[in-house]
Structure 1
Amino acid sequence: MRILPLLSIFLAAVSLRAEYLLPPNARVAVIGDSITEQKIYSKYIETYLLACTGRSDIHVFQFGWSGERAGGFAARLENDLAVFNPNVATTCYGMNDASYRPYAPEIGAEYEKNMRLVVDGLKKVGVKVMAIGSPGGVDPDYFKKNVTGQDYNDNLSHLRDIAKKLAEENKQPFANVYDTMISALTKSKAALGKEYGPFGGDGFHPAPAGQLLMAQAFLKALGFDGDIGRITIDMKGPNTASTGHTVKGLQLGSVTLESTKWPFVFDADSSSAGSNRSILPFTSFNQDLNRFTLKVVNLGSAKAKVTWGTQSKEFSREQLEAGVNL
């Protein structure tokens, strides 16, 4: 059985929840400090929005600024965003706001004050949807500042809680970047050792593996349910597909699809932190955001080999009846 996705010129709708959070003609501003300015997690967000939703009315621009704190963006917000006119924004501040020392109440108070200015400023320029992000975390094995990585993560966790509070107060989605990153870091270190560095060589400017975790947190906050496609092949009856896909034929065990929504594609290297694929065993990106499900019913044999592109895998009749994520 072979799956051959083909390009189609037709447009498809995204899930209702994501449509609600991303309005028609969405203009998404990705905002933050030098971590955002790396233009990696913003690229992953843009790729997902353009390739995985079936929509052509989404525009993305990143507004990262090296060394910036929330107060710095509040000061430049109106001037810098005016030309783009965003109606959706993601924010990721806190790494610099935490001041590279253990947490103290004045750090939290200053961060909260400036993030309130950011939220109010975004409302003023017409942003309707804000995925208010927490800061990420640091890798204690690589983080070399005047504070230990453990103590700095404690500091950042306080700012996470403040960002969550502001999101709830303003009835906006919260992107839990911190927990998404720290959870995957802990699991990956246990499996691969302390040399594995998804948060980059300095422990806080993430490599592509860590940047994928950031994109994951923001995409989940924006409401995407990960249902890229559902294809049902009935060996004795009609074949069906979810919105964005059309089954064009089933001949000689080969299924041909026309698709306007594609799964998110990862780098090839499965071991280096310089590859976003390497973090996949330690996070739920594919389960939460990247499900392209094939279901086969009325299969005449106990098992079947599914080939999609150059990849092949064998599944039992029971697995195919339940559905497998390609």
Structure 2
Amino acid sequence: MKYPKISYQLIRLAAVCLLLQATTLLSAQEAEQKTHQAPLSKMELQTGDSIVFLGDSITHQCLYTQYVEDFFYTRYPKMRLKFHNAGVGGAKAWDALARFDRDVAAYHPKYVTVLLGMNDGRYQPFNDEIFKTYYDDMKELISKIEGIGATPILMTPTMFDARAARMGKRPRDPASVELYNSVLAYYGTWLREVAAESGFGFVDMYGPLNNITIAERQKNPQFTIIRDAVHPDAPGQVVMAFALLSDMNVQRQVSRITVSKKANGEATSTARGGKLSDLKYSDDGVSFTWLADSLPWVVPAEAKLGAELTKLGHRMSQESLSIHDLPPGRYELSIDGEVVGQYSNTTLARHVELQGNPKTPQYQQAMQVALLNKERNDGPVKDKRNSWRAFQSYARMKRELDAQGDQKDPKKVAAVAQLEKRLADQDRVIQESEAAAKALEDKIYEINQPEARKYVLKKVTAAKKK
């Protein structure tokens, strides 16, 4: 059969159109695939990098940030990072925008952790208009973080402890008490979606606090680590620090030492996290010298419960020691001449964990670091954060005045002028606080360097009965 010439042209045109459509569709699919990014799985850090902790009063407490700093001071003693707490009590996302240039961008961060939302929800049942304000301000804040070349690490709002609120004396709206923790869950779920789609870091602060609380209330119905319902106490802040470091996949183990004998009786060892030397087996024990790369992560006494609740030592700071091929009996372990414990040969063969033993010189050295950093945070770091309260009040009041146009409230005009006078001194306070904080941090880097330690394991001779 012969087809007219026009038919061949139409067939060719249709084929070309179909090919173009397929190509366009394929290109669109490839473009869509390219937009999908993997969320940040870990922080890549080196000496000189800066981390900014941006937030509200929960960050202003200088606790979870302090414990995260403690981790880096002890786990990476050769790497000096720059930490800046940018929390202000009562802050919402808009407040963070108002102080962004001086309080965030000025520190040239590589990563900015963002903990906002507790105040943004306004302590009431879910309100779509309130959430829209938070949504818009957070999107702008995230864009500003990206705009300075930093990577956002978005963190869910923490837990609102409704039971603690009911047990407290402060009068609260029953509906808000019942529903506000759910509001925070909604905000956090949205943040997780933003982080996942944009390739940002994400930390679940909400889940660990709620999960630990409900587990502990099975044993004690009045248990809380958030006594005022909003601000986690020191143990709760350890849970937060643990969540941040865990979700960012930091190096979890301090060291692992295994000592044994070869078939010919020669002593041998395998070790991670340091260098082992001078290994000797004797008739009644073992001795060696150990120079670790890092120290265990420990927290001050008031935060100890948080370390226990998270199993912080075992899960994030393990110092494991295994000694095989010992004759049956009990053995006394000393480090640098100080007895730190007694163990059976079978326990030593399985392994013992030393990171939580307060008798070891490594633990004591790490505690010195933690206490010095506590002094740093309780003093100059908090002084600097307190200086930002006046700015926050000023920025909010000025926004209100600007919205009034020509008909400005004289009282607010006077109040803004008064706040401006107070702020004239802020730069001096910031500079003095930062100098004092750095002086303490210099001391931290003098005492956080691991030292060679002499381990001696000797068999305990049973006392003879009289």
153 and 24 in structure 1: CA distance in 2 versus 1, 3 angstrom threshold: same
Residues 230 and 82 of structure 1, relative CA distance in 2, 3 Å threshold:
same
Match of 1:228 in 2: 254
Distance 1:316 1:152 in 2: 54
Instruction: Specify the code of the residue in structure 2 equivalent to 1:260.
Output: D
Q: Specify which structure has the higher proportion of helix.
A: 2
Name the counterpart of 2:94: 71
Q: Secondary structure at the match of 1:47?
A: helix
**Partners in 2 of 1:218 and 1:298 — Cα distance?**
40
Q: Tell me if 1:239 matches 2:262.
A: no
1:218 match: secondary structure: helix
Partner Cα separation in structure 2 for residue 121 and residue 89 of structure 1: 11
How far off its partner does 1:264 sit?
0.9
After superposition, residues 156-305 of structure 1 pair within 5 angstroms as 156-194=184-222, 196-199=223-226, 201-235=227-261, 236-243=266-273, 245-250=274-279, 253-268=286-301, 275-301=302-328, 304=331
CA distance in 1 between partners of 2:202 and 2:100 (Å):
20
Larger Rg: 2
Moved more, 52-61 or 39-48: 52-61
Distance 1:185 1:310 in 2: 37
Match of 2:341 among 312, 315, 321: 312
Q: Deviations over 1:270-319 (max 9, x none)?
A: xxxxx2211344324334322222222333336655566664253562x5
Q: TM-score, normalised by structure 1?
A: 0.82
Query: 2: CA distance between counterparts of 1:74 and 1:226?
Result: 34
Shift of 1:73: 0.7
2:73 to 36, 46, 50: 50
Question: What's the secondary structure of 2:268's corresponding residue?
Answer: coil
More deviation in 80-89 or 206-215?
Answer: 80-89
Deviations 1:212-264 (A, max 9, x none): 01111111222214122212222552223223x22244455344322231111
Counterpart-to-counterpart distance in 1, 2:209 and 2:245: 14
Instruction: Check 1:297–1:197 CA distance in 2 against 1; reply closer, same or farther (3 A cut).
Output: same
Structure 1 letter corresponding to 2:188: R
Change (3 A) 1:68 1:84: same
CA shift for structure 1 position 67: 0.4
Identify the residue that residue 158 of structure 2 maps to in structure 1. 136
Relative to its length, the structure with more strand (as a share) is 1
Q: CA RMSD in A?
A: 2.5
- C-alpha displacement of 1:108: 3.2
* C-alpha distance after superposition, 1:200-223 (max 9, x if no partner): x31211111011011111112222
CA distance in 2, matches of 1:23, 1:112: 33
Q: Bigger shift: 69-78 or 231-240? A: 231-240
Between the aligned partners of 1:175 and 1:105, the Cα distance in structure 2 is: 24
Paired residue total = 298
Q: How is 1:22-171 mapped onto 2 (pairs within 5 angstroms)?
A: 22-128=45-151, 130-143=152-165, 144=170, 145-146=172-173, 147-171=175-199
Residues 55 and 192 of structure 1, relative CA distance in 2, 3 Å threshold? farther
Amino acid in structure 1 at the alignment position of 2:275: T
Superposition deviation, residue 33 in structure 1: 0.2
How far apart are 1:114 and its partner, in Å?
1.9
Aligned AA for 1:191?
Answer: K
Paired residues of 1:232 and 1:295 also in contact (CA < 8 A): yes
User: Equivalent residue of 1:239, what SS?
Assistant: strand
Shift of 1:159: 1.0
Tell me how far apart the structure 2 counterparts of residues 105 and 310 of structure 1 sit (CA, whole Å). Answer: 62
For 2:162 and 2:91, the matched residues in 1 are separated by: 22
Structure 2 CA distance, aligned partners of 1:310 and 1:187? 36
Is contact 2:242–2:310 with CA below 8 Å preserved after alignment?
no
- Equivalent residues of 1:21, 1:223 under 8 A apart: no
Stretches of structure 1 lacking an aligned partner (at least 5 in a row): 1-16, 269-274
**Do the aligned residues in 2 keep the contact of 1:21 with 1:222 (CA within 8 Å)?**
no
| C-alpha contact 2:237 2:306 (8 A) present in aligned 1 | no
Q: Deviations over 1:158-212 (max 9, x none)?
A: 1110111111122122110000111111222333441x4311x312111110110
Contact 2:213 2:225 in 1 (8 A): yes
Helix, strand or coil: the match of 2:259? Answer: strand
Q: Which has the higher contact order (CA 8 A, sep 6+)?
A: 1
Task: Single out whichever of 104-113 and 22-31 deviates more from structure 2.
Answer: 104-113
Contact 1:305 1:313 (8 Å CA) reproduced? yes
Aligned AA (1:187): A
The alignment-based identity, stated in percent, is 22
Q: Distance in 2 between matches of 1:229 and 1:132?
A: 31
CA contact (8 A) 1:306 1:315 kept: no
Alpha-carbon distance in structure 2 between the residues aligned to 1:122 and 1:310: 51
Alpha-carbon distance in 1 for matches of 2:218, 2:308: 12
